[in-house]
Structure 1
Amino acid sequence: MNQALLDILADGQFHSGEDLGSALGVSRAAIWKQLQKLELLNIPLHSVKGRGYRLPDAVELLNHEAMAAHGFPSDAFASCELALSVDSTNSVMMQKAESNTTDRHICFAEMQTSGRGRRGRQWLSPFAKNLYFSVLWPFSQGIAAIQGLSLVVGLVVHKILKQHGIQAAGLKWPNDILAEQGDHLFAKMGGILIEITGDVTDNCQIVIGVGLNLDVSVQDQAHLDQQAIGLKQLGYSRGRNYLASALVSELVTVLEEFNEKGFAAFQDEWNQADCFFGKPLKVLLPSGHIDGVGCGVNSKGEYQLKTQSGMQVVNAGEVSLRLSGEA
């Protein structure tokens, strides 16, 4: 009943307990119990005596039928979960990986209570405003065969955004999707989180997490430690179900190509999307930093930096790229 209740509340308008009960064919007491369950899931609900209950804003909930209508590749996955609230979609898929070695699975969530970014950072995940999903994808050639995977996933997002008019979209090594806001000014639109389990020398399972901002409010920005922006603020007007279907369809196609060809086949395309190519950079290391000019990635997906002492190559590890002058 939770989903049916949310389908009614998704318009952002007030609905009385009596009206909700009538629409769902249950008592007001049953409605109240379901609302309590939603609150336990940390789903934001507003209640006003005499007016009823509502979500803070009108939202488009993810829906299997709507996604299928937009061409979602259901046949590519053994299961597709649409969760209301989870700690993180990556955690859900990592748990599934414990008993899965060959099948592909995908999990979307309307919200995450402990969404994660790179290096353990929190990923803000408000209810039904953005896209949060993770794919469990088995690889049979060990960890060496997935070098550059996060870059390829970023390219998938970048391609779909460009196709839908987000011309400001660009990529930041190794796993960020940015929007250019002016000379040397960028706002974060999304990120990729790759996790690995299984035999790193043979059959392993890769969890690919994608977070993409559709709508970042002033209130959301107050909780973030860096500038962020949503697709809505950049002119995107299509729905969440449409975007989810477009992204995953392209992701399935590209992952199958990556499995055959590796990252080298995508190197040039990634470098064309690199926000920092040709710009003065500072690479932060655990032991200090390196200054240089961004020169894109090599065929292994490692970042290249032209320094006073020559070309230097860095890999993801505990490394962060910053434009010169950034903190």
Structure 2
Amino acid sequence: LPGQVCLAEYQSAGRGRRGRQWISPFGSQIYLSMYWYLEQGLSAAMGLSLVSALAVSDAVKAHSNIQVQLKWPNDIYLGGVKLAGILIDLEGQALEPSHCVIGIGLNLHMPEEAGKLIEQKWTDLQSHSKVKIDRNALSAQLISCLRQRLHQHQHEGLVPMLDEWHANDAFLNKRVKLITGQRVTYGICRGVNNQGALLLEVDGQVKPVYGGEVSLRMDE
């Protein structure tokens, strides 16, 4: 049924976008997968990663009173580095009822040895909290928030959530570089459009960039 969830204590082959490994030590993080049904087909999947990121933001704020930042298309940042990631697997046709699994990995308390295996800057939620975080309670909050956001998206679309996204966009109006394969494009992040595409300003012109094998990074 839509909204059904699988939680894992450990992942032997955790993966992120672009085929990267997701370091998944035992019993210390949140590894969550939720099934969702797209009645209108794959065309209704536009913006799902953004909607899911907002759900993570909702859950962390409600449970721990910590405000995170969002990075297009599927990352959650805290203190300028990665806290969580989202991976969406889709199956079906553009205009026929389709299926998706939304995977969320959230760093809660990263063991030191596991942290050394991660190839990018990262953080965990416990490092930003003065009280011990209850993993089960946070997981329950995340499931609730994700279901709420997905129902909202199903009935209202992405547009009513865009103001919230932009309020927490880590890169809004900042210089960024967009990496697509071997190609690097420099520009200014101008948020996202009604379809969930990145709006990138290059040489005074703003163009939409849709999902795929792209990586958005700060231009330092």
TM-score by length of 1: 0.64
SS across alignment from 1:112: coil
Q: Output the amino acid matched with 1:193.
A: L
Question: Is 1:233 aligned to 2:132, yes or no?
Answer: no
**Which residue does 1:147 correspond to in 2?**
46
Question: Is 1:293 aligned to 2:174, yes or no?
Answer: no
Task: Judge conservation of contact 2:42–2:92 (CA < 8 Å) in 1.
Answer: no
* Aligned partner of 1:166 among 45, 56, 66: 66
1:250, 1:156 → 2: CA distance? 5
SS across alignment from 2:10: strand
**Which residue does 2:101 correspond to in 1?**
207
Q: Output the amino acid matched with 1:144.
A: S
**Which residue does 2:30 correspond to in 1?**
131
**Which residue does 1:177 correspond to in 2?**
76
Question: Is 1:316 aligned to 2:211, yes or no?
Answer: yes
SS across alignment from 2:119: coil
2:84, 2:75 → 1: CA distance? 6
1:269, 1:107 → 2: CA distance? 28
Question: Is 1:119 aligned to 2:18, yes or no?
Answer: yes
- Structure of larger gyration radius: 1
Deviation string, structure 1 residues 221-248 (Cα, Å, up to 9, x no partner): 2100001111111115231110011110
* Aligned partner of 1:276 among 159, 163, 171: 171
1:289, 1:272 → 2: CA distance? 27
SS across alignment from 1:113: coil
Task: Judge conservation of contact 1:282–1:292 (CA < 8 Å) in 2.
Answer: yes
* Aligned partner of 1:156 among 55, 59, 74: 55
Q: Output the amino acid matched with 2:169.
A: D
2:58, 2:168 → 1: CA distance? 9
RMSD: 1.4
1:166, 1:187 → 2: CA distance? 14
**When you count helix as a share of all residues, which structure comes out higher?**
1
Task: Judge conservation of contact 1:153–1:251 (CA < 8 Å) in 2.
Answer: yes
* Deviation, structure 1 residue 105: 2.4
* Deviation, structure 1 residue 104: 4.3
Deviation string, structure 1 residues 283-317 (Cα, Å, up to 9, x no partner): 11225121111111011100011221411221111
* Aligned partner of 1:242 among 137, 142, 153: 137
**Which residue does 1:9 correspond to in 2?**
none
SS across alignment from 2:144: helix
Q: Output the amino acid matched with 1:122.
A: Q
1:227, 1:285 → 2: CA distance? 20
1:240, 1:308 → 2: CA distance? 46
1:250, 1:314 → 2: CA distance? 27
SS across alignment from 2:149: helix
Deviation string, structure 1 residues 110-165 (Cα, Å, up to 9, x no partner): 00000111111111111110000101111110111120000000001012222322
Task: Judge conservation of contact 2:172–2:191 (CA < 8 Å) in 1.
Answer: yes
Q: Output the amino acid matched with 1:266.
A: M
* Aligned partner of 2:155 among 253, 260, 270: 260
Q: Output the amino acid matched with 2:50.
A: L
TM-score by length of 2: 0.94
Question: Is 1:110 aligned to 2:9, yes or no?
Answer: yes
Q: Output the amino acid matched with 1:165.
A: N
Task: Judge conservation of contact 1:193–1:208 (CA < 8 Å) in 2.
Answer: yes
**Which residue does 1:198 correspond to in 2?**
92
Give the percent of matched residue pairs that are identical in Structure 1 and Structure 2.
38
**Which residue does 1:307 correspond to in 2?**
202
Identify the structure with bigger relative contact order (alpha carbons < 8 Å, sequence gap 6+).
2
